[in-house]
Amino acid sequence: MKVAGRQYRSLWWSAEEGALQIIDQRWLPHDFRIDTVRTMDAFCDAIVQMRVRGAPLIGATAAYGMALAMAQDASDAALNAAYDRLHGTRPTAINLHWALDRARAALLPTAADARAAAALALAHQIADEDVEINRRIGQHGLPILREIAAAKPPGEPVRVLTHCNAGWIATVDWGTATSPLYQGHDAGIALHVWTDETRPRNQGALTAWELGSHGVPHAYVTDNAGGHLMQRGLVDLVITGTDRVTRTGDVCNKIGTYLKALAARDNGVPFYVALPSPTIDWTVSDGIAEIPIEERDPREVTHVQGATGDGIASVRVTPDGTPARNDAFDVTPARLVSAFITERGVAAASEQGLAALFPEMAARRA
């Protein structure tokens, strides 16, 4: 996507630097900063501190981390050590584990003197695949937007509610939940997007920054406004991304997603999840019981970051000494999901629905 007239991906490999370059998302939407990641410590920090975030982007970053490790030491011991360090950075987003498992499986049979080149080629491949997957998700989401638009009075926009940021900045490009929106807007479909703030970390502001840069009409609303907007008939559909989906269709996503799904069901609003296939965890059937939920630093709850006259600052919003809890994700049961929008089409939120679109993946995990 474009920023200030220049085309960017969320990350890219610099042959000149021999390192990964990323958009450091800690400072968005107030400041656009590019950082160079040169060491394994920096790769792990980038993932843990959410300099890169979003399940697909975390996976691609981990693949480049393996490439950096192999360029420095291509031994089996170094390969396994890099795998373990990167694997331990964040527990919930399955794309991290998917990319690392794929890299290790490809590299272990490869001769040590060929591993560095093979690892970098694989990281490029994973990044390029993510872009194409997300582009196709947008293509398959377009008919949903067109159908809703066709049923509305002339000139009235399709009103979409999003939660968290599942945009291009959370993937390598296009985004998952935003890909249908970008492609719909570009196709001339009138849209209005409600981007809820998504506390903590206010990641809805990243969605607002993205949509504004692309010219998509939108408004920023509080997390608790979603149900109210649905009751008032101001939401035609909800589209979210996801960090992990079980083979039975349970959705693990940013905390608060479950509440949006409940409000959508109560008000008859379709609730769609944009799902790239690497985010399906075919080994898990019960999302509530089996998916580990990351608990992050309580400071993300007690403090907020924003722009001031002197730059970007963090301020406390709770009484001094008040404890907080910061569960980063929740699980939405499959029964509350209208359908998945995937790179192969729209799937029912069930084991049968997912397996019908991805039979080879389901068979491998059977």
The CATH homologous superfamily of the domain defined by 136-365: Translation initiation factor eif-2b; domain 2 (3.40.50.10470)
Given 24, 130, 243, 281, the catalytic residue: 243
**What is the structure's pLDDT at 366?**
55
243 is catalytic: yes
First-to-final CA distance of the chain? 38
pLDDT score recorded for residue 309 = 86
Residue 115 identity (one-letter amino acid): R
Cβ burial 312-344 (10 Å sphere, 16+ → b, else e): eeeeeeeeeeeeeebebbbbbbbebbbbbbbbe
CATH architecture of 2-129: Up-down Bundle (1.20)
Tell me the pLDDT of the chain (366 aa) as tens digits. 888 888 999 999 999 999 999 999 999 999 999 999 999 999 999 999 999 999 999 999 999 999 999 999 999 999 999 999 999 999 999 999 999 999 999 999 999 999 999 999 999 999 999 999 999 999 999 999 999 999 999 989 999 999 999 999 999 999 999 999 999 999 999 999 999 999 999 999 999 999 999 999 999 999 999 999 999 999 999 999 999 999 999 999 999 999 999 999 999 999 999 999 999 999 999 999 999 999 999 999 999 999 998 899 999 999 999 999 999 999 999 999 999 999 999 999 999 999 999 999 998 875
Q: Which of 265, 276, 213 is nearest to 54 (CA)?
A: 276
Q: How many CB atoms lie within 10 A of CB 164?
A: 29
Give the tokens for residue 24.
Answer: 């450091």
Strand 339-342 to 271-274 pairing: parallel
Burial of 69 (0-12, 13-18, 19+ CB in 10 A): buried
**Angstrom distance (rounded) from CA 99 to CA 141:** 25
**Does this chain's domain 2-129 share its CATH topology with 136-365?**
no
Residue 364 is predicted with a pLDDT of 80
Domain residue spans of the chain = 2-129, 136-365
> Please, where are the H alpha helices in 151-280?
179-186, 204-214, 226-231, 257-267
